[in-house]
Amino acid sequence: MNDQSQTFRTSLLEENDGPGHNPTDNATMGELIAARFSRRGFLKGSLAVSAIAATVSPMALMLADDARAGSKSAFTFEEVEAGIDEKHHVAAGYDADVLLRWGDALFPDSPEFDPLNQTPEAQAKQFGYNNDYVGYIPIDGSSEHGILVVNHEYTNEHLMFPGIVKVVEGKLEVAPADQKRVDIEMAAHGGTVVEIRKTGGKWQVVKDGKLNRRITANTEMQLSGPVAGHDRVKTNADSSGKKVFGMINNCSGGVTPWGTYVSGEENIHGYFLGKLPEDSKEAANYKRMGIPEGVYDWGNFHDRFDLSKDPNEANRFGWVVEIDVNDPNSIPKKRTAMGRFKHEGADSIVAKDGRVVFYLGDDERFDYVYKFVTASKFNPDDRAANLDLLDEGTLYVAKFDVDGTIAWLPVVFGEGPLTEANGFRSQADVLIETRRAGDLLGATKMDRPEDIGPNGVNGKVYVMLTNNTKRKDDQVDPVNPRAKNAFGHIVEIAEEDGNFTATKGKWEILLKCGDPSVADVGASFSTDTTKNGWFGMPDNCAVDADGRLWVSTDGNSPKETGRTDGIWAVDTEGAARATSKLFFRVPVGAEMCGPLMLPDMATMMVAVQHPGDGGEDWKPFGRPSYYEDLSTRWPDFKDNMPVRPSVLAITKKGGGKIGV
Ligand code: FEO
Ligand code: CA
Ligand code: CA
Ligand code: CA
């Protein structure tokens, strides 16, 4: 599909706002909505609390309200003014310093970045493209010396490569790729593992760090867990069904309590071309995942990305990958027990009984929220004992009920409808087709579940739901309460008894996003939120050591909200609940990723993804942006340098805790 414009290609991969892939009639709870809404209306009038309180005694509610009335915002920084220009902006009194740019050296022998003479070999030794998730693994418990891990989600060819774009009737046309370009793209995907150190208050990359590593779309990996060795993951190149090369479209991720890097493969459909053989049993499976989409040209040069030549390769992508950063030669493992779908993040928390719970979003319109609970306990005294914890455990999918409760349904072969009668012969089948299992279990269709952040301080869990403009009036339900949900919302889960392994809990909506001054939008920011403080499209989140919530966004733009993406600090507790303040904003065309707060809360890392991707709707530019004609030249602002996705380290001038 080489005639697709690059703008179209980009939007397919980053917004998931193409045709939906969930064909089921899973409960949107339509017939029960009226009852629910009338009940909520009653509660609103009488007690002014959210829906979840329906099951709490009135006395408890009054006590809670008293407690709330006394508390103030957890954030006192001076808010940034929302807007759009070619630069980034951070709150007054803070520095936001570029730490790593696309093309920066990661090893003593990395070639200097030369955008006019890119090679796959050079790229494999340099920081990759489109940084998304940013994680930190302390060395000796330090918040000033550690291992930074970064996902490189995807590539934007029109911004990366000179001489490949034509503008035809105001739209970009990107030339088909040759093999060299494809191989550079493959080397720019994956992840970075790099030692960093703060000296004199400023962060620096340790170029000769012994653990520094680039993971690419060609790095040898192992399929691990219930799917390893299954016939459906055997390919022409790998009769064992265990040896895979590369991870792709790694969006968000996590760091485990035992100090490994986990990374979610998200929009894998765009990397496959070609037609499945007529008799293939994978047709329904691939259709549910939207495979193939043919966004990239890789399949023209690498047979494994062509379904007609290797029909099983796509079953080897769409997993959570675990990377042991302590050994730069370790073979990353695709942890199949955690399910196969369009994985967003993998944030985790140790539950009261020592098992570890990972919260997982499947980022597609009308797809599901999951969690994975390890079978065994985390051993804080023996790192090695934890290294295969992710191979055994239970995957659950969420059903949000109208009465404000949530049920976590086991995605386990033999339970309920997950049987041979429905085409599953083993747990491996269930995991390869996790989405279909969720369909059969009656999971709740959500408005694009992205990052999900457990909060160890208050026991709650925050679910970022980016948007879903395709939800129709008759598909509205209490947990996805807006039709044509253009701005997204955040759901808060309270697991039963504060136990993250629980199979039940309660939910309520923390925040409906969008401009609160436009009544039709139906946003629910607190009245203390200023014109700069509201946002749309929550995507990633971080919960810091104080339990404070920081949200990054994907999709704010001149057209959508009259502002760029950024980091917003969101109060979750007391009278300030649902108050939001703008802390940082990106340059024109960029998307905000990260955020990461270091344990001492004196550094926040943020990732600026695809700066300069777009400019049509921004009046001072007013045309499409591409390598030769860019809406910004952030971060270098040199005529001979293209835009460069970068990770920034934010610190307070003079040091100290961020946000206050
Ligand atoms: Fe890569 Fe769900 O965003
Ligand atoms: Ca995301
Ligand atoms: Ca996160
Ligand atoms: Ca994103």
1 located within any domain: no
Confidence of residue 25 (pLDDT cuts 50, 70, 90): low
Q: How far is the CA of 253 from the centre of ligand 2 (A)?
A: 10
454 located within any domain: yes
96 located within any domain: yes
Phi, psi of 79 (to 5 degrees): -65, 145
Of residues 54 and 87, more confidence is placed in: 87
pLDDT tens digits along 404-422: 999 999 999 999 999 999 9
Q: How far is the CA of 219 from the centre of ligand 3 (A)?
A: 24
Q: How far is the CA of 505 from the centre of ligand 3 (A)?
A: 21
Angle at 414 (CA atoms; ends 347, 223), nearest 5 degrees: 45
Which protein residues are within 6 Å of ligand 1, measured from CB? 153, 251, 266, 344, 363, 450
pLDDT at 32 over 60: no
What are the beta bridge partners of residue 452?
A: 463
Q: Give the residue-averaged pLDDT of 429-440.
A: 98
Q: What is the pLDDT of residue 490?
A: 99
pLDDT at 63 over 90: no
113 located within any domain: yes
Q: Give yes or no for a contact between 657 and 645, defined as CB atoms under 8 angstroms apart.
A: no
Mean pLDDT of the chain: 92
> Count of domains in the chain?
1
Q: Give the residue-averaged pLDDT of 465-478.
A: 98
Q: What is the pLDDT of residue 209?
A: 98
Confidence of residue 23 (pLDDT cuts 50, 70, 90): low
Domain extent, residue 573, equals 6-652
pTM: 0.92
Q: What is the pLDDT of residue 31?
A: 32
Q: How far is the CA of 605 from the centre of ligand 1 (A)?
A: 18
Q: What is the pLDDT of residue 55?
A: 33
Cα–Cα dist 105/127, whole Å:
7
pLDDT at 43 over 50: no
For residue 70, the SS3 value is coil
Own/partner pairs for 308-313, CB < 8 Å, 24+ apart? 308/274, 308/275, 308/276, 308/277, 309/236, 309/274, 310/235, 310/236, 310/237, 311/276, 311/277, 311/280, 311/282, 312/232, 312/233, 312/234, 312/235, 312/282, 313/235, 313/272
Neighbours of ion ligand 2 (CB under 5 A): 251, 450, 539
**Burial group, residue 31, by CB count within 10 angstroms (0-12, 13-18, 19+):** exposed
Cα–Cα dist 637/640, whole Å:
9
Q: What is the pLDDT of residue 22?
A: 72
Confidence of residue 433 (pLDDT cuts 50, 70, 90): very high
660 located within any domain: no
Q: Give yes or no for a contact between 609 and 591, defined as CB atoms under 8 angstroms apart.
A: yes
360 located within any domain: yes
What percent of the chain lies above the pLDDT cut of 90? 89
Strands (E) in 419-537, as ranges, are 446-447, 449-454, 460-465, 489-495, 504-512
Q: What is the pLDDT of residue 624?
A: 97
657 located within any domain: no
Closest atom of ligand 1 to CA, residue 16: 2
Ligand nearest to the CA of 16: 1
pLDDT at 34 over 60: no
According to DSSP, residue 644 is labeled: -
pLDDT tens digits along 121-171: 999 999 999 999 999 999 999 999 999 999 999 999 999 999 999 999 999
pLDDT at 15 over 50: no
Is the torsion defined by CA of 509, 411, 422, 318 positive or negative?
A: positive
Q: What is the pLDDT of residue 27?
A: 52
132 located within any domain: yes
